[in-house]
A and B are shown apart, each in its own frame.
Chain A
Amino acid sequence: MTAKWSSEYVVAEHKDLQASTMAVDSSGQYVLLAGRRCLAIVDVENPTFVIKKFPRQSKWEVGSAEWNPHSHYSHWCAISSNQRTEILSWNSTDLTPLHCLRFHTRAVSDLNWHHFEPTLLASCSVDTYINIWDLRDSRKPSVSLSAVVGATQVRWNRVTGHLLATAHEGDVRLWDWRKASSPVQYIAAHLHKIHGLDWSANQEYQLATSSQDCTVKFFDVNNPRIAENALRTVSPVWRARFTPFGEGMMTTQLRRGENSLLLWSLSDLSNPVHSFLGNNDLVLEFDWKSPRSDDDDYQLITWSKDQSLRIWRVDVNLQKLCGYEPDNQPQIVYEESESTFNVLTASIAAAQAVLSNTLSPTSHRKKKSAISNNVGIEALSQPEHYSFSKEVDQIKSLGSISNDNSISVCDVDEVQRCLTAVIRTAKHQVVLHISLPSSYPDGVIPNFLIGKGTTLDANGRCRITKVLKQTATLSCRKGHPSLELVLQQLLSTLDQLTPADKSETESSKIMALPVSSSTAGNNPFRLPQTGLGHPGFLQSAGLFGTLTHHQDHNIPYPRSSGARFCSTGMLICFGRPSYLRRVNNKTSDTSTTPRSLSVNQAYSSSLAPHNMTTPSNTAPYGILYPPVAQSPTGDPSVSISSFYNQDRRQKSRTSKTKNRLPSYSSSSDENKRGTHEARHHKVVGVVTIYDASGLMPLQLELAERYVFSDTDTVWMCNQNAAIAAQFGRKDLAYIWSLSALLATPTLVNENRTQDLETPWAQSPFGRKLLHAIIDHYVKLRDIQTVAMLCCAFGYKCESQDVFRRKTTRSESGSPGDSPYHTIHPGDTTLDGWNLVTGLKQIRSNSWSDSLDDFRLGNPGMNPISNGRPLPVTSIFLPHPTTSASSSNGIEGSEECRDKDLRLLDPKFNGLFDNYRRCYADILYRWGLLEARVLVLKYLSSPIDPHRGVDFVTECIPCRTTVRGPQCTLCKRLLLNCVICRVVVKGSASFCLVCGHGGHGRCMAHWFAEENECPSGCACNCLLENNTVFPV
């Protein structure tokens, strides 16, 4: 695998120590070996010699150990043992305990000293807390961060002091310890447990995670949806740490027999550049000893499970493999390689800005801005007329151009203005990362970057690169967006190329420097992308795997069961069939369902490794979403249901009891087939509708039968009491009878005449009792009873002021008027054509600006309300005395008194109206439209007036508009019939298009035979009016 390997030059065995961990101090002088039975300090110069051995009397192993990295405190050493963390001090002869930190309730899993504050130590534990200790006060942690899941690793950022990362199973959380309430970032890094975390020493936002899933992933924590890069090995990775020199990574494995340490260069993660062989057992811990002088080398110190300490020398040649430059400029590697990289950029200035930013790590450090979403920063500098999303849509619309060629767009980032386009032709495939500089498209071309997965040789790349650049330059010179054109051009160029030689592609290491479009500066440098990894990787989890993966990272895991209350009393439930039980996921110990969709992809791809066929070229979502978007007849192993396995026992039981479930043949080896079958038998889609109205405080039967009376409250209450009793609601029957007593007219009327006494409403059994009853039912959420009570007692009290406005109206109102006010407003305006009403309006201009404002239906005057039940289920009853009380002359003081007389406090009218409205809405859902209208009639303020078509006429001499047929000023009658030339009063009909019309009868007569307007204006009135208000 690796061309070179080397052996240790010093081996020291310490079988007696039984140490579980090791730590090298910052001076590189001492090694601490810690185990359950003892702690030992070993001299690095003479590793066989144990300087001092301190026996421990503990039944707990030492979990982790770390020396303080600060030179002044380098004698401090922290070790964790079960729930405790001990701080020891080494004075070159003796190890004395300084502090004992107890706060965790479960075993401490990891420790890490702060890189800038010597007294700060972070510890994490499976008790889900991460504690940050300031050793100046060791009694309790200065900050305690609460994660829901136990943490296995904790690491401070090496560039910024306030940032730390913790690993929780497969996730990473980032914390800013100044804001301890919640993590600032989540990274769903791996599907399997994360064993190790490490921050880059010089790039603030670069984090590496090593995991059980045999990969090391590199993240830009500002953009955590996707790993920037990944390193793949054949065995689970225990630790992965950045090398102190160059741009390298050291990993140790967690598989028996894989005892070597591998050194990788970050510029090429396909193969390790070096292996350190020699350990006979797993490497538990490794650390570096820095060179003492310039001509000295780094030394690698390892502690293995076989209780041997080994020291390797890492000479300059090895360091150079990791990109180390002797003149101590680690970043130079980027500059140097820029020319060889496949970067095409016209916005060199932008690139340089990024480069210069990276070259001075201090500038990074100054930017203490925590991880923030840098939205809008760039939007400001964009040319205003340009819309990124529009252009993306354009490209998307390109879609599949022909059967062979297709363009699919993914990974669109509006903020960074970058996207990835996958262009497929019959012979080739090109993955193109495009990022748009801030000043694009005004004379600046996009940055193109050919990504991995491209099946082109170096020649081909050069060629399309040239084409891309030329096309974009031409287009951008005019300030036009160029992407669409560029991609089309690319397709035609690809057709001319010869088929690519795949092996050639693999051998040519394509390095690419993604010059980020972000000039904002807080986007750190990314890792260089590298060529292809292991052969076969492309097929299994390569291009498509990663594409789908990061796409779906933020899409929540689909609901496969749910319950919803609908309509009034229905509960709709759906769920997974019981034979689908969740796969016992070995990959993660957490028992909860995953949160993001990407898990599913990876899961299904791990079910069927190396089985991923190339998705069809035509469907863009086919690649983005293979598992569920695939037709159900496709591979059964990829679907959401693949996360749920079939539980056989359950299955057979269910098939016995439930007829609707298909019976499965009970052969034992068809787990997979079962899922497959399930989907064909279509039992995934069973929805159960429950009637949950029994749980609701509402009863449809009551609503259907309850009666209303706006005058005789007692009658209404008694009737409703009887109805409630009929349906076994004794409680409600009781309340209604009580209400009947409350409303006894003798009591109410008595008070009305005898002014000196306290009004009945003010007595404890009046308003107070009623309000108490209503409040009680509000608490029960029985809106039905509440609203009905509000109606029973509401109208009567408020009828007064309504009456005052009504009397005039009712006198002249046509006797057949409907009591339903909802029908009313439209009628009123039409009524305006009636001369009588029109005259009345002139007379009584004062009572209202708008006719819509007043409500119709004075029941005392209503001829149909003489006790005869309406065709609906609710009834109006007249009260013979009401009209008497509607005298016009109620004085102000009396109005005040009137308020006291009411059983419902007018102060809360708004609230009571809300109750009525709410009940009206429920009645509407039940389809009890009449009852609804009756309830709405009790509203103290009118519901929104119905605004229909309004007809006004204009008096040209007076220049006024009136609603009636007569001008209010000159009394002229304004409308003449177009046919008989006589003034129009009463029924009129006009064309809405040409405006001509006249008497309803005349017009009806005319249009019985004609289609066109009688005025001769050539308007096809009958036809035109149909289109004015399309239904």
Chain B
Amino acid sequence: MVSVISTVDTGHEDMIHDAQMDYYGCRLATCSSDRSVRIYDVKNGTQTLAADLRGHEGPVWQIAWAHPKFGNILASCSYDRKVIIWKEINGQWIKFYEYANHDSSVNSVCWAPHDYGLILACGSSDGSISILSATAAGGWEAKKINNAHTIGCNAVSWAPAIGPNAAFDSSSGVRSTPVKRFVSGGCDNLVKVWREDKEWVEEAKLEGHSDWVRDAAWAPSIGLSRTVIASCSQDRRVILWTNDGVSSSWNQRVLHTFEDVVWHVSWSVTGNILAVSGGDNKVSLWKETVEGQWVCISDVNRGKGSAPGQQ
């Protein structure tokens, strides 16, 4: 079911904190405690180093590729309180924009769906979330949600642009503008849903975790009215939050309680498989059955090098 395409030795000098392929699956970006971001061209099982981006003064926590329609753009965030947006221009990666208006480590970056334009959300340990939008003039505009999470914000993730409700009324043919939403998780044990209503407002506060929320991921939509958010926490649990698209209430359901803290949740492109990884160095994949049950389809100790799915 699952096979190794390639193994990339990134050559980082310290722990890797994030690795992501671009939209097409051709380029790999990694970031590490050695303060660098590296980009590899991955083709037919071989990889070549395309760029080694230096500019952060602390460990780089997370990276995010922008939609290719804006060009090759990568955002990175770091302990040094900065967010750097890198852009490839004529084959050279340059620092496109640097945002340094956070007072503590920036832990998460996430690009908005491309339909909204080039917009980046950043969550920081100073408790605030910044929304950076590229302006027509080529500059950047920042909005800040102060004190979004007391103590600190650990994760941000955008809602898909294909909204839960049909984005337009088919009879009139007039499309209503989709509402921008994203989800965030923080050290106040809360998962919060934000909506842009001229200003960013807190739409829902999801209480369920009993310790720091480490990651939150909004599931990709395939057009259904049901919305799902996955969140994981220091309390070793992964919670799936669902909203039926009609009411404003969110149902919570604990996917599983893991053996160690859970650091990361990631949805597959159709939103039916969830990859969960955490402090125990293991990756497990969870799939929703036709009956709506979630089952573990693999439990892999990555350190042992076996692939998910090859039980």
A and B pair up: yes
**Which B residues are CB-close (under 8 A) to A749?**
none
Q: Does A604 contact B (CB under 8 A)?
A: no
Q: Does B61 contact A (CB under 8 A)?
A: yes
**CA A629 to CA B10, docked complex, whole Å:** 19
Q: Does B304 contact A (CB under 8 A)?
A: yes
Q: Write out, one digit per residue, whether chain B residues 121-149 have a CB within 8 A of any chain A CB (1) or not (0).
A: 00001100000000000000000001100
**Which A residues are CB-close (under 8 A) to B259?**
591
Q: Does B50 contact A (CB under 8 A)?
A: no
Q: Write out, one digit per residue, whether chain A residues 673-708 have a CB within 8 A of any chain B CB (1) or not (0).
A: 000000100111111111110111110000000000
A101 nearest CB across to chain B (Å): 24
Q: Does A572 contact B (CB under 8 A)?
A: yes
**CA A915 to CA B222, docked complex, whole Å:** 6
B126 touches A414 (CB 8 A): yes
Smallest Cβ-Cβ distance to B40: which chain A residue: A687
Q: Does A896 contact B (CB under 8 A)?
A: no
Smallest Cβ-Cβ distance to B57: which chain A residue: A621
**Which A residues are CB-close (under 8 A) to B253?**
none
B20 contacts which of A564, A909, A924 (Cβ < 8 Å)?
Answer: A564
- Name the interface residues of B261-276: CB closer than 8 Å to any CB of A: 261, 263-264, 266-273, 275-276
B61 touches A558 (CB 8 A): yes
A925 contacts which of B25, B235, B261 (Cβ < 8 Å)?
Answer: B25
**Which A residues are CB-close (under 8 A) to B34?**
632
A931 nearest CB across to chain B (Å): 15
Smallest Cβ-Cβ distance to B290: which chain A residue: A779
Q: Does B203 contact A (CB under 8 A)?
A: no
Q: Does B154 contact A (CB under 8 A)?
A: yes
B12 contacts which of A182, A551, A557, A685 (Cβ < 8 Å)?
Answer: A685
B20 touches A566 (CB 8 A): yes
**Which B residues are CB-close (under 8 A) to A698?**
269-270
Main secondary structure of the interface of A (DSSP, over half): mixed
Smallest Cβ-Cβ distance to A593: which chain B residue: B279
Q: Does A973 contact B (CB under 8 A)?
A: no
Q: Write out, one digit per residue, whether chain A residues 278-297 have a CB within 8 A of any chain B CB (1) or not (0).
A: 00000000000000000000
Smallest Cβ-Cβ distance to B307: which chain A residue: A690
A565 touches B290 (CB 8 A): no
A592 touches B30 (CB 8 A): no
A536 nearest CB across to chain B (Å): 29
- Name the interface residues of A574-632: CB closer than 8 Å to any CB of B: 574-578, 591-593, 595-597, 619-621, 624-625, 628-629, 632
**CA A168 to CA B234, docked complex, whole Å:** 15
* Known A593-B279, A695-B309: A925·B24 in contact at CB below 8 Å: yes
**Which A residues are CB-close (under 8 A) to B268?**
565, 569, 692, 695-696
Smallest Cβ-Cβ distance to B285: which chain A residue: A695
A592 contacts which of B146, B154, B260, B267 (Cβ < 8 Å)?
Answer: B260
Q: Does A148 contact B (CB under 8 A)?
A: yes
**CA A227 to CA B305, docked complex, whole Å:** 43
- Name the interface residues of A365-411: CB closer than 8 Å to any CB of B: 373, 375, 389, 392-393
Smallest Cβ-Cβ distance to B298: which chain A residue: A695
Q: Does A974 contact B (CB under 8 A)?
A: no
A395 nearest CB across to chain B (Å): 12
Q: Write out, one digit per residue, whether chain B residues 1-17 have a CB within 8 A of any chain A CB (1) or not (0).
A: 11111111111111111
**Which B residues are CB-close (under 8 A) to A907?**
170
**CA A685 to CA B15, docked complex, whole Å:** 7
B162 contacts which of A225, A578, A776, A914 (Cβ < 8 Å)?
Answer: A914
Q: Does B249 contact A (CB under 8 A)?
A: no
Q: Does A845 contact B (CB under 8 A)?
A: no
- Name the interface residues of B206-250: CB closer than 8 Å to any CB of A: 207, 210-212, 214, 220-224, 234-236
Q: Does A910 contact B (CB under 8 A)?
A: yes
**Which B residues are CB-close (under 8 A) to A570?**
5, 21, 25
Main secondary structure of the interface of B (DSSP, over half): loop
**CA A561 to CA B61, docked complex, whole Å:** 12
B307 touches A555 (CB 8 A): no
Q: Does B254 contact A (CB under 8 A)?
A: no
A567 contacts which of B1, B21, B261, B279 (Cβ < 8 Å)?
Answer: B21
* Known A564-B266, A640-B15, A913-B166: A685·B287 in contact at CB below 8 Å: no
**Which B residues are CB-close (under 8 A) to A914?**
162, 166-167, 221-223
B264 touches A592 (CB 8 A): no
* Known A559-B264, A570-B21: A689·B13 in contact at CB below 8 Å: no
- Name the interface residues of A117-153: CB closer than 8 Å to any CB of B: 146-148
B58 contacts which of A629, A910, A915, A940 (Cβ < 8 Å)?
Answer: A629
**Which B residues are CB-close (under 8 A) to A911?**
166, 223-224
B16 contacts which of A560, A563, A566, A567 (Cβ < 8 Å)?
Answer: A560
* Known A911-B223, A941-B175: A922·B269 in contact at CB below 8 Å: yes
* Known A181-B207, A621-B80, A639-B33: A686·B10 in contact at CB below 8 Å: yes
A684 contacts which of B6, B14, B146, B277 (Cβ < 8 Å)?
Answer: B14
A578 nearest CB across to chain B (Å): 3
Q: Does B303 contact A (CB under 8 A)?
A: yes
* Known A621-B80, A629-B58: A565·B214 in contact at CB below 8 Å: no
**Which B residues are CB-close (under 8 A) to A326?**
none
B107 contacts which of A555, A639, A927 (Cβ < 8 Å)?
Answer: A555
- Name the interface residues of A529-566: CB closer than 8 Å to any CB of B: 551-552, 554-566
**Which A residues are CB-close (under 8 A) to B7?**
660, 686-689
A560 touches B17 (CB 8 A): yes
**Which A residues are CB-close (under 8 A) to B271?**
781
- Name the interface residues of A407-454: CB closer than 8 Å to any CB of B: 412, 414
B200 nearest CB across to chain A (Å): 16
* Known A572-B20, A576-B15, A685-B32: A182·B166 in contact at CB below 8 Å: no
**CA A624 to CA B105, docked complex, whole Å:** 11
Q: Write out, one digit per residue, whether chain B residues 143-168 have a CB within 8 A of any chain A CB (1) or not (0).
A: 00011001110100000001001111
Q: Does A4 contact B (CB under 8 A)?
A: no
**Which A residues are CB-close (under 8 A) to B80?**
621
Smallest Cβ-Cβ distance to A682: which chain B residue: B11
**Which A residues are CB-close (under 8 A) to B282?**
561
* Known A593-B261, A621-B80: A632·B13 in contact at CB below 8 Å: yes
**Which A residues are CB-close (under 8 A) to B14?**
628, 632, 639-641, 679, 684
**CA A697 to CA B269, docked complex, whole Å:** 10
B263 contacts which of A559, A572, A632 (Cβ < 8 Å)?
Answer: A559
**CA A721 to CA B284, docked complex, whole Å:** 35
Q: Does B173 contact A (CB under 8 A)?
A: yes
A559 touches B17 (CB 8 A): yes
Q: Does A1019 contact B (CB under 8 A)?
A: no
Q: Which of A414, A687, A926 has the most CB of B within 10 A?
A: A687
A690 touches B79 (CB 8 A): no
Q: Write out, one digit per residue, whether chain A residues 908-950 have a CB within 8 A of any chain B CB (1) or not (0).
A: 1111111101100010111100000000000011000000000
A519 nearest CB across to chain B (Å): 20
A146 nearest CB across to chain B (Å): 7
A556 touches B272 (CB 8 A): no
Q: Does B19 contact A (CB under 8 A)?
A: yes
**CA A658 to CA B19, docked complex, whole Å:** 22
**Which B residues are CB-close (under 8 A) to A596?**
212
**Which A residues are CB-close (under 8 A) to B104?**
551, 554-555
B9 touches A910 (CB 8 A): no
Smallest Cβ-Cβ distance to A567: which chain B residue: B25
Q: Does A778 contact B (CB under 8 A)?
A: yes
A918 touches B20 (CB 8 A): no
**Which A residues are CB-close (under 8 A) to B23?**
567, 924-925
**CA A918 to CA B260, docked complex, whole Å:** 35
**Which A residues are CB-close (under 8 A) to B251?**
none
**Which B residues are CB-close (under 8 A) to A555?**
79, 104-105, 107, 125, 152
Task: Please list the 5 inter-chain residue pairs (A to B) with the smallest Cβ-Cβ separation, ordered nearest first.
Answer: A910-B166, A914-B223, A593-B279, A567-B25, A685-B12
7 A-B contacts (beta carbon < 8 Å) = A561-B277, A568-B25, A574-B16, A628-B15, A639-B14, A640-B15, A914-B221
Known pairs A414-B103, A556-B214, A567-B269; list 9 more (Cβ under 8 Å): A562-B266, A593-B279, A621-B79, A640-B33, A688-B7, A689-B28, A698-B270, A911-B223, A912-B223
